Every structure is written in C-alpha cells, then in structure tokens.
C-alpha cells in the first residue's frame, strides 16, 4: 500500500507539473505591426479580457512588413530562453483571410507558438523540434462577435487563443484537431562544410550595428579550424549573384581590428558573423539578410 501511495503521488505531481507548464500565464507577442497605431494594444487588450492575471511581453513588433523569414528567425533567436509553458503569438501574415492554416505548435522543450503556418515556424521547428501541432478551431477559439472581420486574426484568433491557453481556460487539446508533425518550410542554404568551404545563409542582420549574422555554427567553424588572426575569405551572394568578396580576420573581439576594418567572429548565438569595427558592414557593402542571401567562407591563402 505504501508503494502504491508513493506511485500515485508521483503520477499526480507529474500531472500537476504538466498542467502548470501549459498554464504559466506568460504570453509573448511578435508582429510586423510596428507601434505607430493601436494594433498591438488591441491584441493585448483581448488577452487581458481573457484574464487580467496574464503577464504580457513583447518579442518585437519591428519585423519588416510581410517578412516571414525574419519572423521565423526571431522566434529561433528567442523561444528557447523562455520557460516551458510560455505562449508566443507571432503575426506576420500576408495571407490573412486565405486558406493558410492557423495553428499552435508545441515544441519539444514545452513552449507554444500561435501563428499562421506560412513559414514562420521553419527555424524554431528545426531547432527545438515538434512535440505536437494543432489547428485552431475558430468555432470555439475566436473572440466573440468577430466573425465578420477577415483581416485581423492576430487580435481575433491568435491573441485570444494564446490568452486562453496561457491562462488555463483551455488545455492544448482544446485548441483544435491535431495535425501531422510538419510545417510549411522556407527553403534556405543549410550550414555545411564542403571541400574546405563553409556554406550557409545570411540569416539576419544585427540591425542596430549592421553586423552580418550567418547560420553557420561554431561546430562547423571548429572543423574549418581558423586561429585568431587568420584571415577568412568571405563571398556573399544574393539570389546566386555575387554581392561581396573580401577577407576578414577571425577575431575574438571587435577591438582586435582597427576602427572601420572588417572582422569575422562568433556572435552571441555562437554563429559565424561579420562586422566592421564601429561601422555598419550591411550599409557599407549593401548586404541584407534572408533565405535568398547566402555565404561561402574559406581560409584565405597566406601570402
């Protein structure tokens, strides 16, 4: 009997932990709305209307308009740093009102992402894995009397569903029917090392400073085996056309090179990046980011 009681207690506590992780009352918003009007405030108002106990945060609302790739990257950059049970709302939705699916993805690490399945989930699904995906049942999970609106699902469906999930008004199963564990993917150059060349995508700009961030991780950089001070030969392409070529010493800090000079380094996500010390690499060399920007990196030949 003692062992049975202990077993039941463990199962009960495990169940409580699972419920808690799905209901931690945290909602994090991302969009391409900007902050010039009331769209973000409207979404938060809907969430507060579901439960005033929710803790509402912003990832960013400065995604460039319609830029699904950047929405995907910002989720990849951020989601894993939030506790299990956190609910993200990502609304970069140029196909709003069309047949694209509205979904909630649960990662293998326990976070939930409420979003259109339009490519936004590409990188976070790869990085954290898919535990389960459910299509939002709008007959149940839609703000009351909003059925005549077809252009603001961020307010009427996503914020509302996310708030209900985070507050424990519904559990994950009540979001809607389960879907196969696959998402709409944006094609891009995966990070590889081939024939002495690192290949990857210019995933994002460190926008405040104009630094260039790739998707090439430190594991591949270690295989190329540059030493600090070695020059890396960098070739950047846009849609297959060469946009930049030059050398950048592999450096531990920006101050390792003179002001205005190029360097290569590992960024805060331990991915290979390029910069000009105290200047904008992106502006000077007219480089942008996205799945149509790729890069090849090799050890520069020593003279």
What DSSP string describes 17-41?
Answer: HHHHHT---EEEEEES--SSSSHHH
Q: What is the mean pLDDT of residues 51-62?
A: 97
Q: For the residues 82-107, what does the mean pLDDT come to? A: 92
Where residue 284 sits, what CATH number does that domain have? Answer: 2.40.30.90
Regarding whether 213 and 110 lie in a shared domain, the answer is no
For residues 74 and 210, state if they share a domain. Answer: no
Residue identified by tokens 């009681």 is 5
Residue 23 is predicted with a pLDDT of: 63
Contact 176, 163 (CB under 8 A): no
- Note whether 164 and 215 are same-domain residues: no
Q: Is 146 helix (H, G, I), strand (E, B) or coil?
A: coil
Q: Is the residue at 6 inside a domain?
A: no
DSSP 148: T
Structural domain includes residue 8: no
CB environment 65-103: b (16+ within 10 A), e (fewer) = eebbbbbbbbbbbbbeebebbbbbbbbbbeebeeebebb
pLDDT score at 8 = 42
Q: What percent of the chain has pLDDT over 70?
A: 89
**Which pLDDT does position 149 carry in this prediction?**
59
Of residues 302 and 242, the one with the higher pLDDT is 242
Query: Are 161 and 198 found together in one domain?
Result: no
Mean pLDDT of 110-123: 97
pTM score, whole prediction: 0.87
The pLDDT assigned to 11 comes to 42
Read off the tokens for 37: 């009007």
Q: Is the pLDDT of residue 95 over 90?
A: no
Give the end of a domain, one of 119, 146, 179.
179
Domain that holds residue 205: 192-299
In this structure, what CATH number is given to the domain that contains residue 158?
Answer: 3.40.50.10790
pLDDT at 20: 44
Q: Is 160 contained in some domain?
A: yes
Contact criterion met (CB below 8 Å) for 160 and 143:
yes
- Whether residue 22 is found in the same domain as residue 170: yes
Could you give the CA distance from residue 265 to residue 260 in angstroms, rounded to a whole number?
A: 15
Answer whether residue 133 is part of any domain.
yes
Instruction: Specify the pairing of strand 130-135 against strand 293-299.
Output: unpaired
**Total domain count, the chain:** 2
Distance separating alpha carbons of residues 272 and 246, to the nearest angstrom: 15
Query: What is the per-residue pLDDT for 303?
Result: 58
Residue 162 lies in a domain: yes
Is 146 found in the same domain as 28?
Answer: yes
Nearest alpha carbon to residue 228 among 245, 212, 210, 250: 250
Are residues 175 and 239 located together in one domain of the fold?
no
253 and 141 in a common domain: no
Last residue of a domain, one of 179, 205, 221: 179
* 248 and 166 assigned to the same domain: no
Whether 1 maps to a domain, the answer reads no
Q: Has residue 7 got a pLDDT over 60? A: no
Mean pLDDT of 128-149: 83
pLDDT at res. 84: 97
Q: Looking at the structure, tell me whether residues 202 and 277 fall in a common domain.
A: yes
d(CA 238, CA 201): 10
At residue 147, the pLDDT reads 57
Which pLDDT tens digit goes with each residue over 236-252? 999 999 999 999 999 99
Q: Are 26 and 55 part of one and the same domain? A: yes
Residues 196 and 267 in one domain: yes
Residue with tokens 């085996």, as numbered in its chain? 225
Is the pLDDT at 285 greater than 60? The verdict is yes
Contact between 295 and 234 (Cβ < 8 Å): yes
Q: How far is CA 69 from CA 6, 32, 77, 122, in A?
A: 49, 12, 12, 8
pLDDT 10s digits, 139-185 = 888 777 655 555 577 788 999 999 999 999 999 999 999 999 999 99
Q: Report how far residue 230's alpha carbon sits from residue 265's, in angstroms, rounded to the nearest whole number.
A: 11
Tell me what the pLDDT averaged over the chain comes to: 90
Domain end position, chosen among 126, 158, 179: 179
Is 41 part of any domain?
yes
Task: Please check whether residue 187 lies inside any domain of the structure.
Answer: no
- The answer to which of 7-16, 60-69, 113-122, 226-235 has the lowest mean pLDDT is 7-16
Enclosing H/E stretch for 131: strand 130-135
């Amino acid at each position: 009997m003692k062992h049975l009681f202990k077993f039941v207690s463990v199962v009960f506590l495990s169940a409580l932990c699972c419920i808690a992780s799905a209901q931690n009352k945290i909602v994090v918003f991302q969009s391409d709305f900007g902050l010039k009007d009331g769209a973000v405030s409207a979404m938060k108002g809907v969430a507060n209307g579901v439960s005033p106990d929710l803790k509402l945060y912003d990832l960013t609302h400065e995604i460039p308009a319609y830029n699904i790739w950047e929405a995907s990257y910002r989720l990849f950059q951020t989601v894993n740093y939030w506790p299990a049970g956190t609910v993200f709302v990502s609304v970069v939705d140029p196909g709003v009102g069309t047949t694209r699916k509205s979904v909630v993805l649960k990662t293998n690490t326990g976070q939930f992402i409420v979003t259109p399945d339009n490519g936004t989930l590409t990188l976070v699904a790869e990085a954290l894995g898919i535990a389960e995906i459910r299509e939002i049942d709008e007959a149940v999970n839609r703000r009351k009397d909003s059925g005549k609106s077809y252009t603001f699902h961020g307010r009427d469906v996503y914020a509302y569903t996310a708030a209900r999930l985070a507050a424990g008004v519904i559990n994950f199963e009540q979001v809607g029917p389960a879907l196969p564990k696959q998402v709409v993917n944006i094609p891009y150059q995966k990070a590889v090392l081939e024939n002495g060349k690192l290949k990857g995508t210019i995933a994002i700009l460190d926008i405040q400073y104009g630094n260039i961030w790739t998707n090439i991780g430190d594991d591949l950089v270690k295989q190329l085996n540059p030493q600090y001070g070695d020059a890396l030969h960098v070739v950047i392409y846009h849609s297959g056309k060469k946009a930049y070529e030059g050398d950048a010493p592999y450096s531990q800090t920006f101050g390792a090179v003179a002001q205005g000079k190029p360097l290569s380094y590992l960024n805060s996500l331990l991915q290979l990046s390029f910069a000009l010390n105290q200047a904008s690499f992106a502006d000077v060399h007219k480089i942008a980011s996205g799945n149509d920007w790729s890069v090849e990196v090799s050890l520069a030949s020593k003279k």
